[in-house]
Amino acid sequence: MRTAIFSDVHSNLEALEAVRQAGFDRGVERWICLGDVVGYGADPAACLDLVGDLAAVILQGNHDAAVAGVQDVEYFNQHARRAVLWTRQTLPADRLSPLLGFGLTHTEGEAFFVHSEPGDPRAWGYVCDAADAASALVAVTERLLYVGHSHLAFICAAAREVRTVVETEGSLGLTANVRYLVNVGSVGQPRDGDPRACFAIRDEETDSIELVRVTYDVTAARQKILDAGLPRFLADRLSQGC
């Protein structure tokens, strides 16, 4: 079984469609979304539809919660807050209710899935490096921990110490009796210096995980943000990957 795990679409339809195609090209059979389907970008309804059709599991991110009205918008910076309020006004009322139904965590077999730091998912803490990964792994018992939220793509292995073994992209064969944290990066707004969309593929047959980067039409996604009257900063950062 090949499972794609993705996060932080942020209403970027062009990036999501490119990731979907890349997954199908790589033989992905199942999809899991770690949250933040909406926010920042200009295509919230289309992204909700596509993720709803694609993913067997959809978790709630902080932007999903804010658009649904269960997270205070004062938590966000000015650009994110404007995007949340725009998204809330743009989506019909019946499109907001599914956001409330997304769970915070999901467990299956040897894997734990969560949008943010797993010790207190509703606090929306970030996992940004090996030190954060070490703390996050203490909070769960599963062999594999998948997170998003920081928009940074990396894999950490926990043997005698927790260390980063893959950054940005690449494939890793897993080792028995070693635990791993996989930050799947962001589909719609990467912040690790690489503007390409990112997601992870778990291959159970080969016992491996790959961080996959995918080019997409950044120009089109950027222009949609500007045309919607959203902050230029949100458009410009797409081409910078930061």
CATH of the domain at 232: 3.60.21.10
C-alpha distance across the termini of the chain, in Å: 33
Write out pLDDT tens, residues 154-213: 999 998 899 999 999 999 999 999 999 999 999 999 999 999 999 999 999 999 999 999
Q: What single letter denotes the amino acid at residue 5?
A: I
Q: According to the model, what pLDDT value does residue 95 have?
A: 84
Structure tokens at 225: 């943000």
Question: What confidence tens digit (pLDDT) does each residue in 109-157 have?
Answer: 999 999 999 999 999 999 999 999 999 999 999 999 999 999 999 999 9
- Stretch 1-18: mean pLDDT: 98
Given CA atoms 111, 116, 118, 122 in this order, what sign does their dihedral have?
Answer: negative
Distance between alpha carbon 204 and the CA centroid of its chain, in Å? 21
d(CA 133, CA 119): 11
pLDDT tens for 21-72 read: 999 999 999 999 999 999 999 999 999 999 999 999 999 999 999 999 999 9
- Is the confidence at residue 75, as pLDDT, over 90? no
- What is the domain count for the chain? 1
User: What's the confidence (pLDDT) of residue 100?
Assistant: 87
Q: Which pLDDT score is estimated for 202?
A: 98
Phi, psi of 229 (to 5 degrees): 80, 15
The boundaries of the domain holding residue 91 are: 2-240
Whole-number pLDDT of residue 207: 96
Helix (H) or strand (E) holding 93: helix 93-101
Dihedrals phi, psi of 91, to nearest 5 degrees: -75, 135
Q: Which helix (H) or strand (E) holds 50?
A: helix 44-54
Q: What is the pLDDT of residue 159?
A: 87
